[in-house]
């Protein structure tokens, strides 16, 4: 094992046990649905702000993604990804405040059904939202396993499956026992651990600056290139506007946070949560730019591990364990929100035949069945990914996962029209056809980009899909 691995493992295991204890203490496994899935809709603005921050500062799809992209796009990632993601969160806050005053709902599909009267469209939105959050859960677990595997110099072939099952079992355990209340209580502690890891990165960035290193802001790619097989900043701007802004509006984990909160506290809680998460993203990106200036581009977890452990004994036995447990906390805080959101959505798509039986035993069995089905599907996906990895289609498989995560963009645009222009909606059938066409456009662009090795097709397909969805939903008067 690498230096500092023992401290990192012990700290992480103690944290995982503590999270499970929080779930058991909540003791909501046989509580009524309102208590289990939505914490009795009693979250305060402070609780919402913390769980929002912890749940959106994802290790896999934000922290590591932004640090990796800086190596390619330079300052553009700062202006595009961060600002468009911030805009998406602000758009969600405004939409949630408007919708909460008009409609009582539990999932984004129910919101669409109540607003449009179209069950078919609502089911389509539910499936897209479920797919996006399910992939988010898997990506967090996968990157968490990759991070944990950096602790070992030589790895056993059983190491990654065991790590995957350990993390999945931990999240499954405390969510099953404590529901949304356990997610919120654990997020409070996970957010503190995240702040510790961000502080470590800030310290490392400060050390580099003190040694005369300057951030490298220059983009590594041109602004505009007409060749579809070449990347440029212009197409990434359009891509960022689509996939960083609208999928949030179709993400059931965020809607579940807000519907679990006291109505008068939603706007304030989301606002504070957005500020906290944005400041964390800001630090992460600036540190990545400084590391790039030191010729240390962040391409993987190993790059971060090598940078911090290279600071000597303090870095190896103090800073690195804090960085490690903070990143694991970021992974888990997003994964538990994704798991319980998947559960709520699947519960709506697959209603129980004996749902009228609200006995404690039946409630527990129903939740065990739903969450267990999600966990089993995660294991199957892990097996498929392990099979794909190391073969010719490993890159295609990973790109497919990221596509499935971002495919909710056109449906998020639909939700935006519903929230802001409820009196200008087209008929449900028209919206269903338009959204289906927009999704097909994205699918075709994905396969074309893979077949032709031309990523720009997928970059440009995202904003086109969003425009098709908006045009099919908004009725001009």
| Mean pLDDT per 10-residue interval, the chain, length 477 residues | 81 88 77 82 90 81 74 70 82 82 69 83 84 85 81 70 88 90 91 92 92 79 69 76 82 85 86 89 86 83 85 88 90 90 85 62 85 92 73 56 72 87 85 84 72 68 84 84
Residue 208: strand, helix, or coil: helix
Q: What number does CATH give the domain 5-390?
A: 1.20.1730.10
The whole-model pTM stands at 0.87
Helix 320-349 crosses helix 159-210 at what angle (to 10 degrees)? Answer: 130
* Per-residue model confidence (pLDDT) at position 353: 46
* Cα 405 to Cα 318: distance, rounded to the nearest angstrom: 35
Query: Among 303, 281, 291, which Cα is nearest to 214's?
Result: 291
Please tell me the total number of residues recorded for the chain in this structure.
477
CA distance 143 to 301: 9
Written as one string, the DSSP assignment of 305-361 is: HHHHHTT-HHIIIIIHHHHHHHHHHHHHHHHHHHHHHHHHHHHHHS--TTTT---HH
Task: Count Cβ atoms below 10 Å from residue 189 Cβ, excluding itself.
Answer: 17
């Amino acid at each position: 094992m690498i230096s500092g691995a023992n401290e990192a493992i012990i700290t992480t295991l103690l944290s995982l046990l503590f999270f499970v204890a929080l779930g058991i203490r909540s003791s909501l496994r046989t509580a009524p649905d309102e208590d289990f899935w939505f914490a009795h809709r009693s979250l305060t603005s402070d609780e919402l702000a913390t769980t929002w921050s912890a749940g959106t500062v994802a290790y896999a799809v934000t922290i590591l993604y932004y640090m990796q992209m800086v190596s390619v796009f330079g300052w553009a990632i700062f202006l595009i990804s961060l600002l468009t993601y911030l805009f998406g969160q602000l758009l969600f806050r405004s939409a949630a405040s408007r919708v909460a005053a008009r409609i009582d709902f539990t999932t984004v599909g129910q919101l669409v059904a109540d607003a449009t009267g179209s069950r078919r469209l609502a089911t389509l939105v539910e499936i897209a939202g479920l797919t996006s959050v399910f992939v988010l859960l898997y990506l967090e677990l996968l990157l968490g396993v990759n991070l944990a595997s950096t602790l070992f110099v030589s790895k056993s072939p059983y190491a990654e499956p065991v790590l995957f099952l350990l993390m999945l079992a931990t999240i499954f355990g405390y969510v099953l026992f404590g529901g949304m209340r356990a997610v919120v209580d654990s997020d409070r502690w996970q957010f503190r651990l995240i702040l510790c890891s961000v502080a470590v990165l800030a310290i490392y960035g400060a050390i580099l600056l003190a040694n005369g290193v300057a951030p490298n802001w220059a983009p590594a790619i041109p602004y505009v290139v007409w060749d579809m097989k070449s990347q440029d900043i212009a197409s990434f701007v359009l891509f960022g506007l689509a996939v960083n802004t609208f999928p949030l509006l179709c993400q059931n984990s965020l809607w579940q946070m807000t519907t679990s909160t006291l109505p008068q506290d939603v706007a304030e809680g989301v606002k504070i949560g957005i500020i906290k998460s944005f400041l964390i993203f800001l630090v992460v990106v600036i540190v990545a730019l400084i590391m790039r200036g030191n010729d240390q581009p962040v391409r993987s977890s190993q790059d971060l591990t090598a940078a911090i452990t290279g600071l000597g004994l303090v870095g190896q036995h103090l800073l690195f364990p804090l960085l490690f447990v903070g990143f694991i906390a970021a992974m888990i805080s997003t994964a538990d929100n994704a798991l319980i959101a998947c559960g709520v959505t699947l519960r709506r798509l697959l209603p129980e035949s004996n749902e009228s039986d609200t006995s404690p035993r039946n409630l527990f069995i129903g939740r065990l069945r739903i969450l267990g089905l999600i966990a089993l599907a995660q294991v199957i996906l892990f097996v498929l990914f392990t099979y794909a990895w190391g073969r010719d289609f490993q890159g295609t498989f990973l790109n497919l996962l990221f596509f499935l995560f971002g495919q909710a963009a056109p449906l998020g645009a639909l939700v935006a029209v519903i929230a802001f222009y409820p009196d200008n909606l087209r008929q449900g059938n028209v919206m269903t056809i338009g959204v289906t066409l927009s999704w097909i456009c994205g699918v075709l662009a994905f396969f074309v980009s893979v077949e032709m090795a031309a990523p720009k097709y997928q970059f440009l397909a995202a904003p086109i899909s969003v425009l098709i969805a908006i045009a099919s939903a908004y009725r001009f008067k």
